[in-house]
């Protein structure tokens, strides 16, 4: 079964808001054995909506629409859908009572615009919206299905879970779909592809591998399609295990896990506390670590040390080292690790110093030159990154590599 997604709204087309509805709907449809044949955004006007409907119906069994169901004059979805499917807009008393009750609970009275909102297509099955005033609408048209839902995300999600997905599953034959996602860090997709090329070549036709790269990380998604879900999941699990064993040094988790959470588990399992010292990343690594609930069980704290004076005063970095090698150097980040453990605490530390950009580079140390170090009182390991010229991406890239370097350090020096 194929579905086509249409979001309606000028605010999406002009970039005023981001279309998160389609991403969530696509994910849910796929998890329930349905394929998304296409996604489009239509303006708040009849011609554009009609064109999107015709496109969707030519490619899919069901067209799912969000947006354009509010009480204002620019919300024209109902009118267009009624005309497109051969229906008429008629006043719907039950919908108006629902709108009235909603506003009474807020201590307000509905307006005339809300009364107009209660006019519904007479050929639609109305779907109860427990989270708002605009009901969803289900149309049968030419042997296919059209579904219209509010654009407010929490209203759409409620309708999808409680009304739309159960109806779609009951109406269309569906094939089983299973996904497993392996999460890797520290290695680019081309190098990963080289390491698993032989495994990938032996995948059966009904199981596909996708590479989903991000800054410093790559997700490997195995997707299988078949007739029986239980046997399919067992088969995909078996393949995921083979890929994970091949990439055991860089796979840190699966599914929705996060690298900072995986590192936190390693620290907590080993009874270690971490401290951080950051220059060009401005506390970003500390932010990643503390975004995990319970991080106080393994994170002592951190220092943001941009100036050379602060590196000396807070961490005890040698003025001679700074003078001889410069702040962006292996020697300085190694001393920062030692000083962080000594003055901030913890058994292990991360230190970062670099040129995030867009300015500040020199011929021998261009923008994107970033030194990382991870260590304890006995051993320190350093890494030079050659990043790009975009400041924000450089910071994110550095954060991912810092956590990866820490994870590798813990596995090597604190094995269980």
User: Which domains are seen in the chain, by residue range?
Assistant: 2-171 (3.40.980.10), 176-254 (3.30.70.2860), 259-413 (3.90.950.20)
Tokens matching residue 63: 């067209």
* Best CA proximity match to 261, nearest among 409, 412, 398, 406: 406
Q: How far is CA 411 from CA 86, 249, 271, in A?
A: 66, 9, 14
- Mean pLDDT computed over 242-257: 97
In tens, the pLDDT along 281-325 reads 999 999 999 999 999 999 999 999 999 999 999 999 999 999 999
- Mean pLDDT computed over 241-268: 97
What pLDDT is attached to residue 111?
Answer: 81
- Mean pLDDT computed over 251-265: 97
In tens, the pLDDT along 197-227 reads 999 999 999 999 999 999 999 999 999 999 8
Ranges of beta strands (E only) in 296-415 are 299-304, 348-354, 369-375, 380-386
Residues in a beta bridge with 194: none
What pLDDT is attached to residue 71?
Answer: 67
Q: How far apart are CA 390 and CA 358, in angstroms?
A: 6
Tell me the percentage of the chain whose pLDDT exceeds 90: 86
The bridge status of strand 348-354 relative to strand 125-127 is unpaired
- Mean pLDDT computed over 356-369: 95
The DSSP result for 72-125, as a single string, is: STT--HHHHHHHHTT--EEE-HHHHHHHHHHHHHTT----HHHHHHTEEETTSE
Q: Is residue 101 scored above 90 in pLDDT?
A: no
Q: Is residue 369 scored above 70 in pLDDT?
A: yes
Q: Is residue 235 scored above 80 in pLDDT?
A: yes
* Best CA proximity match to 281, nearest among 371, 382, 386: 371
What pLDDT is attached to residue 132?
Answer: 83
Helix (H/G/I), strand (E/B), else coil: 374: strand
Q: How far is CA 337 from CA 26, 132, 324, 328, in A?
A: 45, 54, 18, 14
What pLDDT is attached to residue 7?
Answer: 96
Q: Is residue 122 scored above 80 in pLDDT?
A: yes
The CB density around residue 140, as the number of other CB atoms within 10 Å, is: 13
Element holding 327 (H helix, E strand):
none
* Best CA proximity match to 93, nearest among 51, 62, 135: 135
What pLDDT is attached to residue 72?
Answer: 65
Contact 278, 211 (CB under 8 A): no
What pLDDT is attached to residue 76?
Answer: 87
Element holding 213 (H helix, E strand):
strand 207-214
pLDDT class of 112 with cuts at 50, 70, 90:
confident
Torsion sign, CA atoms 182, 390, 353, 328: positive
Residues in a beta bridge with 415: none
* Best CA proximity match to 357, nearest among 402, 397, 404, 309: 397
Q: Is residue 98 scored above 90 in pLDDT?
A: no
- Eight-state DSSP code of residue 248: T
Tokens matching residue 124: 């639609």
Q: Compute φ and ψ for 251, nearest 5 degrees.
A: -85, 120
What pLDDT is attached to residue 143?
Answer: 93
pLDDT class of 95 with cuts at 50, 70, 90:
confident
Q: Which of 74-83, 104-113, 172-181 has the highest mean pLDDT?
A: 172-181
Contact 61, 14 (CB under 8 A): no
Tell me the percentage of the chain whose pLDDT exceeds 70: 99
Q: Is residue 107 scored above 90 in pLDDT?
A: no
What pLDDT is attached to residue 134?
Answer: 84
Per the listing, tokens 């300015």 go with 359
Q: Is residue 248 scored above 80 in pLDDT?
A: yes
Q: How far is CA 103 from CA 100, 126, 244, in A?
A: 5, 20, 54
- Mean pLDDT computed over 99-128: 86
In tens, the pLDDT along 179-191 reads 999 999 999 999 9
């Amino acid at each position: 079964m194929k579905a086509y997604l249409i979001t309606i709204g000028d605010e999406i087309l002009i970039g005023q808001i981001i279309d998160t509805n389609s991403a969530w709907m696509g994910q849910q449809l796929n998890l329930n054995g349905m394929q998304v044949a296409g996604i489009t955004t239509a303006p708040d006007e009849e011609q554009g909506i009609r064109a999107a409907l015709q496109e969707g119906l030519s490619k899919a069994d069901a067209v799912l629409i969000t947006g354009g169901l509010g009480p204002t004059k620019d919300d024209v979805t109902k009118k267009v859908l009624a005309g497109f499917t051969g229906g008429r807009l008629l006043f719907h008393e039950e919908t108006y009572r629902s709108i009235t009750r909603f506003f009474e609970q807020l201590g307000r009275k509905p307006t005339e615009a809300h009364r107009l909102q209660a006019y519904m297509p007479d050929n639609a099955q109305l779907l109860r919206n427990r989270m708002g005033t605009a009901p969803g609408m289900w149309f049968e048209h030419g042997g296919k299905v059209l579904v219209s839902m509010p654009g407010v995300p929490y209203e759409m999600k409620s309708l999808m879970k409680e009304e739309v997905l159960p109806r779609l599953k009951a109406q269309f034959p569906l094939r089983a779909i299973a996904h497993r996602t392996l999460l890797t860090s520290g290695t680019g997709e081309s190098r990963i592809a080289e390491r698993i090329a032989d495994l990938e070549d032996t995948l059966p036709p009904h199981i596909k591998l996708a590479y989903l790269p991000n800054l410093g990380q790559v997700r490997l998604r195995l997707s299988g399609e078949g007739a029986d879900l239980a046997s399919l999941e067992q088969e995909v699990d078996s393949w995921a295990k083979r890929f994970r064993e091949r990439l055991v040094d860089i796979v840190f988790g699966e599914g929705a896990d996060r690298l900072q959470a995986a590192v936190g588990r390693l620290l907590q399992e080993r009874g270690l506390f971490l401290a951080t010292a950051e220059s060009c990343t401005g506390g970003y690594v500390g932010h990643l670590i503390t975004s995990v609930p319970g991080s106080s069980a393994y994170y002592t704290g951190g220092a943001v040390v941009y100036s050379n004076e602060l590196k000396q005063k807070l961490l005890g970095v040698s003025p001679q080292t700074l003078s001889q090698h410069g702040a962006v150097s292996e020697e300085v980040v190694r001393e920062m690790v030692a000083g962080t453990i000594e003055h901030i605490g913890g058994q292990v530390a991360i230190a970062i110093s670099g040129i995030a950009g867009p300015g500040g580079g020199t011929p021998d140390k261009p923008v994107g030159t970033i030194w990382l170090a991870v260590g304890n009182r006995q051993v320190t390991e350093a890494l030079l990154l050659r990043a790009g010229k975009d400041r924000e991406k450089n910071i994110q890239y550095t954060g991912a590599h810092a956590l990866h370097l820490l994870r590798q350090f813990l596995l090597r020096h604190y094995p269980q």
